[in-house]
Structure 1
Amino acid sequence: MKHQSTILIVIVISQFLCTSLWFASNGVINDLIVNFHLKDGALGHLTSSVQFGFISGTLAFAIFTIADRYSPSKVFFVSALLSALFNIGVLWNGHHLMSLLLLRFFTGFFLAGIYPVGMKIAADYYKEGLGKSLGFLVGALVLGTALPHLLKGATNMFSWKSVILITTCLSVIGGLLMLIMVPNGPYRKPSQKLNLFAFFNVFKNHKFRSSAFGYWGHMWELYAFWAFTPVMLKVYSDLHPAVSFNIPVLSFLIIGIGGLACILGGYLSQKIGIKKTAFMALLLSCGCCLMSPFIFINESESLFIIFLSFWGMVVIADSPLFSTLVAQNAPPEIKGTALTIVNCVGFAITIISIQIINSIRSYTDSHSIYTILAIGPILGLIALNSKTKTISNN
């Protein structure tokens, strides 16, 4: 059995490489709009299509308890290959909006075998310090999600197709690494039979429900913030003509810095507790939502970037902590299914918030629209503030 630290490094790298597919279309959205004659609202639709695919995938994986019945590393590998296949399909020149939406849907569908399954694999290797371990793992997700923006910013002299091609190759490499280097973990307890009701039964646990509700409140805000980070930068530069942003690179930095926050949050949780750290991060991100209208009218370009960077940190810092709470409160034999179904509902919520923001933007230029994102954190804070005794903060 390989050393745990080596296993974690491989899982983190694989997760980073494969999740680069998530926002591949967002990183080149302006090129897609021009090349395929799409409308400006295509950003929200393409983002939601990936989310909807991910939701459908996680629901299917949860119902059939895929990650618990089969080797999770093999599930990860197959999912990485299929996601890459649908991602590279974007390179065809004859696309229209519907065909692009279908490709992004199926890319998202098989991402369901990457993100939650990667967390399941980590949980199979770690009992103690799971919060710190998942901090590294979700940090890899954040960097993978942000990578297409950096690739676009760094390859402006090349065709946008290079971004799609690179992310496709990275996913294949990530899948191979997981298959070859990560065997089943020592704490894995495979489910012996198909249980179509497993994902319902897990919600009977009150502590599990509280963790799940906190995660869902966080998800209302997270992907909408990520999806509209380039839009916020564009709006600010339009309001202040003297400002000249490299929007793709800044988008990468603002989203990517959240990866560091996940790691720091994991270490902090070992000092003050998982639930307390998650509560603090969710409270701070809620404050950013409520303060967002005022930051657009300030004249300081540096202050605007600092604010978005701070928001980019606190908006994701609680994610691995919620996943840790979910994993620790789920029965070992359906841990993968529990993580998957919580992800499923969480990503369904992201579609609602993204589409609400997308729709409101077509009717108003108000800078207050992002305050709507505070709804999720507020409800999540209420769930976390439950009087029920919490689990051990390992």
Structure 2
Amino acid sequence: MNKIKEIHAHTLRSGRNRHHSKLLQLLLQLPAIPYAHSLLLTTPIALANKLLRAFSLRGHCRHCLSFFSRMPRPDLRSFTFAFSACAASSSPSRCRLIGRAVHARLLVSSLQLDAFAATSLIDMYSKCGLLGFARRVFDEMTDKDAPMWNSMIAAYSRNGDVLQARELFERMPDKNVISWTSLISGYCRNGRHEAAIEAFSRMWEGEVMPNEVTLGSVLPACARLGALGLGQRIEDYARGNGLIGSTRVANALVEMYGKCGSIDQARRVFEETGDGRDLCSWNSMIMGMAVHGSWREALELFHDMRARGFEPDDITFVGVLMACTHGGLVDEGLRFLKSMVKDFSIAPKLEHYGCMVDLLGRAGLLKEAYSLIKVCQWSRIWSYGVRCSEGVASTVRSNWQK
């Protein structure tokens, strides 16, 4: 703390900004945050805003908003950072409460919204589910720039109103790659996969160059629809434009090829990713192999993943249990189910129980399958696609009803 006070005193005496970055780094240390709050009356607004921005970027949303609430005369940039901190809140109710209070403080000030601050405000309202407030801010701005249009389109997409997103998109005067990507990702997020591919095709025909986010958004639609040909064209485009090195694009390609049954192509992209692989990469490859019967390779890949230091998650174990089902590995499946809880503190979900019921049913262990079914509601397990034979299904159902 003495070092912080020394640098702060020197900054005040010199009136120069060259020590601001050092002071900023020290003030961001958690023990120094109360002292940072005490400096508000003497801290130049430029430094205060840098501190707000740093708090927001580092995920210290509570400190950012607490610091902002004590600022005697925040400027427009201060409000922008406060809006961003509200938007990053993990609690929608907290976001709504504090966000509206921050907006109210802006309204009673003499400050006028500019495009940058309005975009942050729209984003904040959309992330806490207040689309009406977001749209009101958008409509009241006479000078709308592309980021503001994109933020409003993304707001509708994020909240499931793809019709409004499309209507606003069509009205947008100068569409860019972010606009198209917001629309495409919104369609995919809301299960409108055909519409996503249609929008992507329009974008491509209009000679708007997709970026890695666009490709990562449309490839899941290709996977869901089995559009292997388009997926291959997208891979060619990614290679030709230096996007194949993106982990996001590579993962989407692995998932797409896996769901389309092209396991060899999925494995090729997976291997090319090399050190860029993350947990999603491993999960997609394990799942693809498991679904299409390559259960040995799927389990080998799981052990390889563990040897490389990756911790599995619940999605990993769905793929592993599917592999056990295809291999008829009852004992291994039960061990994996127990290991989820014991070794990784992962609570089994309906998908995991569904896989185990399928595994036990295929092995003819109907009593064990019935016992496991009693853990959960039967209809919910069946809705997760347990693919036992019809004979097994009928037998287990009859046991359930007794």
TM-score (structure 1 length as normaliser):
0.22
Task: Flag the structure with more relative contact order, 1 or 2, with Cα contacts below 8 A and sequence separation at least 6.
Answer: 1
TM-score (norm 2): 0.22
